[in-house]
Structure 1
Amino acid sequence: MVSLVQTLTFLFILSSLLLIIVVPILFATSDQGGNTKGTVSGLAAFWGSLLVATAVANSFL
């Protein structure tokens, strides 16, 4: 169970760093199309689900 929490925490940190790097690049390079909003929403949903999964797994320790 400890390794699960460590893995989820590691994935959460990596996805946070990815969001910090990717989102400004997406906004800077996007044209007037609305496709960027869907990408950012998907990344944010993934980040939020990792946050919840990490919290739930950590509560079982």
Structure 2
Amino acid sequence: MKPATIEETEMWGDGAIVRAGTDTMFLSEFNQGWLVTAAGCVHRGEIPYECAVGGP
């Protein structure tokens, strides 16, 4: 399986959203660096994302 290419990133403070292929992930910055806090997220318009793992 070929890894997806990162298409878009958006950062705010110690949080970020990354879109790669059909996947959307949320990251948070910790002392050890940036870690994924939610993955497999689907945008649902005005309501929060729905994530397969974790949540924003």
Tell me the TM-score range normalised by the shorter chain: under 0.3
Higher strand share: 2
Query: Which protein has greater RCO, CA pairs closer than 8 Å, 6+ apart?
Result: 1
Question: TM-score by structure 2 length?
Answer: 0.24
Question: TM-score by structure 1 length?
Answer: 0.22
Higher helix share: 1
